[in-house]
Amino acid sequence: MTTSSAPGKVYLFGEHAVVYGEPAVPCAIERRARVTVEERDDDRVRVEADELTLDGFTVMWGGESGDRPDVNVPTPLVEAAMGYIDNALEQARDAADAPDAGFDITVESDIPLGAGLGSSAAVVVAGIDAGTRELGVELDPIEIADRAYQVEYEVQDGQASRADTFCSAMGGVVRVQGDDCRRIEGVSNLPFVVGYDGGSGDTGELVAGVRKLKEEYEFAENTVESIGDIVRNGESALRNDDLEELGRLMDFNHGLLSALGVSGRTLDSMVWTAREADALGAKLTGAGGGGCIVALDRTEQTKTALEYTPGCEAAFRAELDTDGVRVESE
């Protein structure tokens, strides 16, 4: 039996623009998905999941009967979760040259699902690591990141950047531009606070909306390029450890994401709460629509203010996690 874990992430800068070749800077946070894998002596797969936004479910498939899920949670969510897990296991079988391996899987996660914190990437990265180790093979994190990206690409119909999967596998602060992924070393702690509205956005739909806007309006094209400029400015602020400047740039980034139509009432309301609580800056994180915002605040003020904000379901401090994927027990 092998358990591996991998962190979720927030986007400091650059979501959506990264889809069009601009750089993005995601940061791993100390909220993890843990996947436990035990090889079976048949070729079936049994999954038990205990996700924050799911009630928990057990699914079994494979073998001759090809059982379908008997669950008490919405089918699309389960199907999406199963798609990620199934493809991650396929990657593990491929890497270990064990095409018929069956598994018992347990997924535990303290990352809200579909809320811009990279929950699916964390499950896939941890699943590939645990699955391959269970089959006696150890992959380096770069290869895990690459295989996890293939999974997201497959499950999300090609609408995936390498940002989530690379960040989850490597940990820390990373820079992603197209296929060029690297860690940004030497960043000291970033005082993140996350506000979560309990909802989620449809990444595919939101990405398609921005693409359409870009095709129709030059301002949208320019907005995407301006987000790229913010990211480049942000990189030098990171190098200079200039938190005030980072916060200002996050505020700009949120404004431009709003202009592209991907914010939402609760996200905007949480961003304004953070600003009024004297956060250094705040923005939505991930695809948008609903889900999470991230603010930068050294004090407890933003977290406390968010806790009293209508529409905010949870607020928590999220320390930067310098560890990426790691084995918890073997």
Rounded to an integer, what distance in angstroms lies between the CA atom of residue 56 and that of residue 58? 7
Tell me the catalytic residues: 164
- What are the C-alpha distances in Å from 277 to residues 252, 280, 282, 284? 17, 9, 11, 16
| Contact status: 116 vs ligand PMV (CB under 6 A) | yes
Tokens read off for 189: 């702690």
112 residue type, one letter: P
| Contact status: 286 vs ligand PMV (CB under 6 A) | yes
Q: Which helix (H) or strand (E) holds 10?
A: strand 2-13
Pick one of 37, 160, 295, 312: the residue that binds ligand PMV (CB under 6 A): 160
Pick one of 161, 165, 177, 309: the residue that binds ligand PMV (CB under 6 A): 161
| Contact status: 23 vs ligand PMV (CB under 6 A) | no
Taking the complex as a whole, the smallest distance from the CB of residue 156 to ligand PMV amounts, in Å, to 7
| Contact status: 165 vs ligand PMV (CB under 6 A) | no
Interacting span for ligand PMV (CB under 6 A) from 48-56, 161-169, 249-257, 272-280? 161-169
| Contact status: 207 vs ligand PMV (CB under 6 A) | yes
Taking the complex as a whole, the smallest distance from the CB of residue 158 to ligand PMV amounts, in Å, to 10
Closer CB to ligand PMV, residue 9 or residue 93?
Answer: 9
Taking the complex as a whole, the smallest distance from the CB of residue 10 to ligand PMV amounts, in Å, to 9
Site string for ligand PMV, 167-206 (x = CB under 6 A): ------------------------------------x---
- What are the C-alpha distances in Å from 274 to residues 77, 269, 313? 30, 9, 15
Closer CB to ligand PMV, residue 19 or residue 144?
Answer: 19
SS3 149: helix
Yes or no: say if 123 and 84 are a contact pair by the CB < 8 Å rule: yes
| Contact status: 22 vs ligand PMV (CB under 6 A) | no
| Contact status: 19 vs ligand PMV (CB under 6 A) | yes
Closer CB to ligand PMV, residue 69 or residue 204?
Answer: 204
SS3 301: helix
Yes or no: say if 80 and 118 are a contact pair by the CB < 8 Å rule: no
Q: How many CB atoms lie within 10 A of CB 159?
A: 17
Pick one of 62, 102, 112, 118: the residue that binds ligand PMV (CB under 6 A): 118
Size of the site for ligand PMV (CB under 6 A): 14
Pick one of 51, 86, 164, 235: the residue that binds ligand PMV (CB under 6 A): 164
| Contact status: 16 vs ligand PMV (CB under 6 A) | yes
Site for ligand PMV in 287-306 (CB under 6 A): 287
**Residue 48: beta bridge partners?**
58, 106
Interacting span for ligand PMV (CB under 6 A) from 15-23, 54-62, 273-281, 315-323? 15-23
Q: Nearest residue by C-beta to ligand PMV?
A: 286
Yes or no: say if 258 and 223 are a contact pair by the CB < 8 Å rule: no
Site for ligand PMV in 40-79 (CB under 6 A): none
| Contact status: 238 vs ligand PMV (CB under 6 A) | no
Yes or no: say if 148 and 165 are a contact pair by the CB < 8 Å rule: yes
Tell me the H-state helices in the chain: 75-96, 119-134, 141-155, 163-170, 203-216, 218-239, 243-259, 265-276, 301-307
Q: Is 61 exposed, middle or buried (0-12, 13-18, 19+ CB in 10 A)?
A: middle
Name which of 34, 312, 59, 62 is nearest 195 in CA terms. Answer: 312
Interface with ligand PMV (CB under 6 A)? 15-16, 18-19, 116, 118, 160-161, 163-164, 203, 207, 286-287
